[in-house]
Amino acid sequence: MSRRPSSGGRAWRGPGARIAAALAGVGLTVLAIYQLSDPSSPVKADRDAHVRAPQGAGLDPLTDQEIQEAQRAALADQPRGQAAAGRPQVAFVSANRLDGPDGGPRVADVRLYDYRTDELVVRHVDLASGRVVKSERAKGTQPMASVEELRHAVGLILADGRLGPALRASYKNAAGREPSSAADIHTRGHIFLAPQAAGASNAASVAKCGDQRCFSVNLKLPNGTWMETGRIVINMSTQRVITLNR
């Protein structure tokens, strides 16, 4: 857009608002693979049975129970305050094995984001013992946004003095009531990197995005309308909401 708004509320209006009912919601990628087959097919039934099983074998995909056990093990050393705020957040869980012969240990890789240090953390959990056997850290690497993180990002928008009232008003016009929490608002989110702010007069305000964890989000109202949020950046590391001036 070439015109700067006189108030933050205009970020929710304009020709950019659209309906996109075909868009899917955001979720843990490891869970999405179980929904690709025809629900009536024997393959889908077998896969569902596997997911419900307590333990898998070999290189089988992780079962639901194994995913939960791996997450608990990976987060066991996190302070309670961090866990309550969703930090660090489980972003992706995948099945893997450490190097070794066939029949070797069954290992889950749990990817976290540690907001205290702005680092990606990868922890290898031995599913037999329930212990972390290897942990790695890396800066400047951003895993996909998780559901809990996106809800927290929407909560920051709702709490914003300029954008919050506009979002509540738009939601009320569509639903007849204000949202009771961030969970009421359907959200899709993407990692935002500093170069994406090129051309904005206040691009310096998001210059650390990439080293810090930043999101751009799409918000869907109950009537199916997707709000115009292309200029909104949520810096999750600093807990700030920035409106780019374009």
**Domains of the chain by residue range:** 8-26+145-243, 29-139
Q: Is residue 17's pLDDT more than 50? A: no
Q: Of the given ranges (112-121, 131-140, 150-159), which has the lowest mean pLDDT?
A: 112-121
CA dist 149 → 24, 69, 213, 216, 230 (Å): 17, 21, 11, 12, 18
CATH architecture of 29-139: Roll (3.10)
Residue 58 is predicted with a pLDDT of 74
Joined together, the tokens standing for residue 162 give: 């300029």
The reported pTM is 0.70
pLDDT tier, 168 (very low <50, low <70, confident <90, very high otherwise): very high
Residue 159 is predicted with a pLDDT of 96
Residue 75 is predicted with a pLDDT of 84
Q: Is residue 47's pLDDT more than 80? A: no
Q: Is residue 111's pLDDT more than 50? A: yes
Q: Of the given ranges (1-5, 108-112, 214-218), which has the lowest mean pLDDT?
A: 1-5
Count of C-beta atoms within a 10 Å radius of residue 103:
9
- Characterise 163 by phi-psi region: left (phi > 0), alpha (psi -120 to 50), beta (else): alpha
Which 3-state string (H, E, C) describes 113-134?
EECCCCEEEEEEEECCCCEEEE
User: Does residue 20 contact residue 226 with C-beta atoms inside 8 Å?
Assistant: yes
- Smallest Cα–Cα separation from 146: which of 233, 215, 205, 202? 215
Residue 166 is predicted with a pLDDT of 95
Residue 32 is predicted with a pLDDT of 23
More confident residue, 83 or 151: 151
- Cα separation, 127 vs 70, in Å, equals 7
Span 34-39, average pLDDT: 31
